[in-house]
Structure formats: C-alpha cells, structure tokens
Amino acid sequence: MGAIIETGTAFPGNTEQIPQNVAPLAEMLRLNGFATAAFGKWHETAAWEASIAGSFDRWPTRKGFDKFYGFLGGETNQWAPFIYDGTHQVEIPDDPNYHFLTDMTNRTIAWIQYQKAITPDKPFFTYYAPGATHAPHHVPADWIARWKGKFDQGWDVMREQILNRQIELGVVPKGTKLAPKPDAIPDWNTLNADEKRLFAKQAEVFAVLLK
C-alpha cells in the first residue's frame, strides 16, 4: 500500500492492493479467538473491486473482520451514504434526521452489546472509523451551533493560543517559537467580514467532526 487506492500503479508495492501473503491485524486476532468488527470508512479496497460483483478478497469481511458496516473509499455523503453490511448494499431509512455517524455509532454499540451478552468472556476488537474529518463535512445544524463564535478571533490569534497552551501542558518545551505561517494563508486582519464569517463557520463545522 504505497499510497491511497486511487493512485495505484503497476509498480511493486504501489498497486494499492493488499497482498494475500500478509496477515492483517484483525485476521491475527480473529484466529486467536477474538470477535472482530469494522464500522465506518474502509479505504483499503481498490475501486474496481468495490461493487457487488467483487472480487471480495480485499473487503473487510475477508481481511479478518466478522462484521462490516460502512462505506468503501475515502468519502461518502453523510446524509445519504452508500453503505454496506458485509458485502450487501444497505438501503438507508427514509428519515429526515438520518446521519451516518449516528447510525454507525449505534450499530457499533449494538454489536458490542450482542458480543458481551452472548459470549461475555470472549475478547473483541472493534475498528471504528468515522468519515470525519474527511470531506464532505456534513453535520447537523444543532451540532454546529455548539461551536458558534469559538473561532471568531481568527487563525493568527488561535495559533498563538494553541502554542501557549501546548507549552503550559508540556507538549512542547518552554521557549518554543511559533512556526512560520504558509505564504498562502493571509493575515486574518486583512480579510473582509464575509471571508471571516465563512472561514469561522468552516472551523466550527470541522470542530464538530474532530471533537
């Protein structure tokens, strides 16, 4: 896996196809008595294998996972995702409040509950991979509202605040200097009101996914 699957070439090590002579972690755990499941994003199957026609050799259910509920590739619409249960496409419910992150989380919790109810002493491994913070940044409005105004000070002030907090926490040593800002990023105080409002809103939406 030299890079993401969409950039595969014919060169050895860069075909973006997991070779069959290696054992993924989930398979090693499964063979040693673990229950295994993957939920959410699975960006490990080449595009030409990502359909109901297969080949299914590089789908999660043949890479050590007993259960898979999620989407193939780097991204999907979080309101109307193209998702699979195992290797079967799932029809999402006709619910205006549906969101995939909530759906996959509930499915994950339910799967763990089933495992512990039926085989309480059996260890389990859960691979939980939300689509966040990858595009598209689709989140409900009430989630975004929790972060309203948190980034209005702009990135220049925030960079200083973050560094100072890292120094206080001991993440970086005292005396650490702020790294130079890329030339492509303008000073916050040079932006107009609409630009500031746009970029602050983008940060609020991103923060929802990151948190």
User: Which residue range(s) make up the domain with 168?
Assistant: 143-210
Whole-number pLDDT of residue 17: 83
Tell me the pLDDT tens digit for each residue of 9-24: 888 888 888 888 889 9
Please say which residue of 77, 111, 138 terminates a domain: 138
Q: What are phi and psi of 127, to 5 degrees?
A: -95, 110
- Both tokens of residue 115? 């495992």
DSSP label at residue 128: E
Same domain, 170 and 113: no
Exposure pattern of 114-127 as b/e (b: 16+ CB <10 Å)?
A: ebeeeeeeeeebbb
| Domain count for the chain | 2
Helix (H, G, I), strand (E, B) or coil at 156: helix
Same domain, 121 and 149: no
Secondary-structure breakdown of the chain: helix, strand, coil percentages, each rounded to the nearest 5? 35, 10, 55
Same domain, 120 and 195: no
- Average pLDDT of 180-201? 96
Please say which residue of 109, 138, 167 terminates a domain: 138
Distance from first CA to last CA of the chain, Å, rounded?
29
pTM score, two decimals?
A: 0.86
Strand runs labelled E in 43-139? 67-72, 84-85, 88-89, 124-129
Written as one letter, the residue type at 158 is M
Same domain, 132 and 148: no
Same domain, 150 and 109: no
- Average pLDDT of 100-119? 97
Whole-number pLDDT of residue 132: 85
Tell me the pLDDT tens digit for each residue of 38-62: 999 999 998 888 888 888 999 999 9
Same domain, 13 and 66: yes
Same domain, 129 and 147: no
What are the distances in angstroms from CA 47 to CA 72, 74, 91, 138? 8, 10, 21, 23
Same domain, 160 and 124: no
Place of tokens 């075909």: 15
CA 87 centroid distance within chain:
20
- Average pLDDT of 102-127? 97
CATH code of the domain containing 32: 3.40.720.10
Whole-number pLDDT of residue 176: 97
Same domain, 180 and 133: no
List residues bridging with 69 in a β-sheet: 39, 85
Answer whether residue 211 shows pLDDT above 80.
Answer: no
What's the CA gap between 25 and 44, in Å, rounded?
14
What's the CA gap between 145 and 113, in Å, rounded?
32
Same domain, 12 and 86: yes
Instruction: Answer whether 37's CB lies under 8 Å from 108's CB.
Output: yes
Same domain, 90 and 178: no
Same domain, 121 and 172: no
Give 161-181 as a DSSP string: HHHHHHHHHTSS-TTPPPPPP
Please say which residue of 85, 113, 138 terminates a domain: 138
